[in-house]
Amino acid sequence: MAQGGDQRARVAQRMKERALLLSTSTLLSWDEATGMPRAGARHRAEQQAQLLGLARDLAADPQLGEWLAACSEDFDVRRWKRLHQRASRVPRRLVESLAKTCTLAREAWASARDANDGRVFKSQLARVVALKREESDALANGGDRYEALLDEYEPFVSAATTEGLVEAVAHELLRRATAWECGAPEKLPGPVAEAAQLSLCTMVARAVGFSERRGRIDTGSYGSSVAVGPGDVRVTVRLSKLDATGPVLRLLHELGHWFTDDGAPENSWGTPRGEVASHSLHESQARFFENHLGRSDAFWDWLWPKAKAAWAPHFDASSALALRKHVKWVHRGLMRGWADEVTSDLHVVLRMRLERALISGKLEVDDLPGAWSDASAYWFGTRPKNDLEGWLQDGHWSAGRFGYFPTYTLGNLAAAQFAETLKRERPDCEHEVARGDFSHVVSWLKGRIHTHGGEGNVFERVQAVTGRALTAEAFLRHLDARYGSLRR
């Protein structure tokens, strides 16, 4: 027994060393997204390859496997064994190649977006896809390539379960979106100066409970939340010249991620319990803050007077109704970043199908724009006019994040079940939000979800919190109540 305890201590120390390397890599990724000159990409690629190669070696060390074999089985040991197995299957050469290629691909993607021309990115994406196919073959060990990549983001859940839910939800939503879609609401006044947008976003963050001692908010070309380590979670928000509400909703989305990481148990940092390994669970918190909080009447009852003052002179008393209609506009638009909560999962299924085809080899990068256009015609009733409206709009694939998109849909389903349970257990929560009191909502989420860290995947945590299995029922009830009533 004593020997097993000694081995466990060795494993924990080794994994903490790995976590420190990964947290340094994360900090470099944040710097790359917010401030690194593009000319620094090649050197950054070398840095990332070195860090991730070292982290891989720590996890794949055969000595670690011997220590783990001597440990008594529990939650942490089970997760560590999974990590050791996956690391052992992927050679360091491939880890380093992926790190270098994805760093350069992210910069190529950013340049292609700026130019609205995917030609400068295609060759880089093809390299990423080739390496991800090689990685998935190593991880799958004779099994399904795509399932091996899905497992990175939702551990211990089958591809059939994940893909089945995404497909079923998407077809239900296509029917609703087609019925609920309507003409564009009155155009919002503006444009609002970026300084005024950022000022309002900062005020919202503080009101909801964001702590500047434990995080920071920066602007970027896309929204993100990056957990560097305990007490250090970085948020970026994307501002807009055209839509004053979008930055607020995107900030709330990233704050959901911030609360999840900041609320994880600090004394477990570097262990599976100290990190939410379920990306679907992470997305459930982002979608909760963005949609169940940010698109609610209660939230805008509180925010409107402050928004009107911050956005002056563009907004006046007559703008309130237009703003509410804008927030609840159902529109099958082509841009995922601007999608409403009814149509967002249509974007997910489109990407899930295409990335599965890319990883399997049934689709090549050269054929991706045409395949994307055909899929857009089916799900959205129109085709992209250019690369930016189509296959170039997301940065996930440039970063090698194949298998991530389904977590958005699972997160939406979980968020709805959490929201339904919260309202049942705390009936006054909407009145509290309308008064600007978010403390009880945040406290409920922290106690039920955030402080549990990595204890279980999204299916297990939903069952524990709500007493029910994860299904689409609560999500569809929520959408019917919020949007169906507007069309009756």
Looking up residue 333, the CATH number of its domain turns out to be 1.10.1370.30
Q: Which residue has the higher pLDDT, 320 or 52?
A: 52
Q: Which residue has the higher pLDDT, 275 or 135?
A: 135
Q: Do 84 and 232 sit in the same domain of this protein?
A: no
pLDDT at 486: 60
Could you tell me the two tokens for 135? Answer: 């990685």
Q: Do 79 and 185 sit in the same domain of this protein?
A: no
Indicate if the pLDDT at residue 202 is higher than 50. yes
Could you tell me the two tokens for 28? Answer: 């470099």
Q: Do 92 and 226 sit in the same domain of this protein?
A: no
Percentage of the chain with pLDDT > 70? 99
Q: Do 179 and 94 sit in the same domain of this protein?
A: no
Q: Has residue 263 been placed in a domain?
A: yes
Q: Give the number of C-alpha atoms closer than 13 A to the C-alpha of residue 417, restricted to the C-beta side.
A: 25
pLDDT at 222: 82
Which of 241-245, 251-255, 316-320 comes out lowest in average pLDDT? 316-320
Could you tell me the two tokens for 34? Answer: 């917010």
The pLDDT tens digits for 451-470 are 999 988 999 999 999 999 99
Predicted confidence band at 314 (pLDDT cuts at 50, 70, 90)? confident
Instruction: Average the pLDDT over 301-307 and give the result.
Output: 93
The residue from 76, 91, 110 where one domain ends is 110
Which of 103-107, 358-362, 453-457 comes out lowest in average pLDDT? 453-457
Residue 462 to residue 469: CA distance in whole angstroms: 7
Contact 479, 287 (CB under 8 A): no
- In a 10 Å sphere around its CB, with 0-12 CB exposed, 13-18 middle and 19+ buried, how is residue 449 labelled? buried
Instruction: Average the pLDDT over 60-84 and give the result.
Output: 95
Predicted confidence band at 487 (pLDDT cuts at 50, 70, 90)? low
Percentage of the chain with pLDDT > 90? 86
Say how many C-beta atoms besides its own lie within 10 A of residue 24's C-beta.
17
Q: Do 79 and 194 sit in the same domain of this protein?
A: no
Q: What domain count does the chain have?
A: 2
Instruction: Average the pLDDT over 65-87 and give the result.
Output: 95
325 to 186, 351, 412, 483: CA distances (angstroms): 8, 28, 22, 11
Residue 57 to residue 92: CA distance in whole angstroms: 7
The residue from 46, 80, 110 where one domain ends is 110
The residue from 93, 110, 127 where one domain ends is 110
Nearest to 442 by CA among 458, 454, 466, 426: 426
Indicate if the pLDDT at residue 188 is higher than 50. yes
The pLDDT tens digits for 20-46 are 999 999 999 999 988 899 899 999 999
Instruction: Average the pLDDT over 419-442 and give the result.
Output: 97
Q: Do 178 and 102 sit in the same domain of this protein?
A: no
The boundaries of the domain holding residue 279 are 164-487
pLDDT at 1: 47
Q: Has residue 462 been placed in a domain?
A: yes
pLDDT at 241: 78
Q: Do 89 and 176 sit in the same domain of this protein?
A: no
Indicate if the pLDDT at residue 4 is higher than 80. no
Q: Do 37 and 177 sit in the same domain of this protein?
A: no
Query: For residue 73, what is the DSSP state?
Result: P
Q: Do 70 and 172 sit in the same domain of this protein?
A: no
Residues identified as active-site: 254
- Specify the amino acid at residue 236: T
460 to 151, 276, 332, 474: CA distances (angstroms): 15, 13, 32, 17
Indicate if the pLDDT at residue 297 is higher than 80. yes
Q: Do 215 and 318 sit in the same domain of this protein?
A: yes
Contact 402, 271 (CB under 8 A): no
Nearest to 339 by CA among 409, 279, 278: 409
Could you tell me the two tokens for 299? Answer: 């939230």
Q: Has residue 153 been placed in a domain?
A: no
Contact 265, 453 (CB under 8 A): yes
User: Residue 235 — φ and ψ, nearest 5°?
Assistant: -115, 135
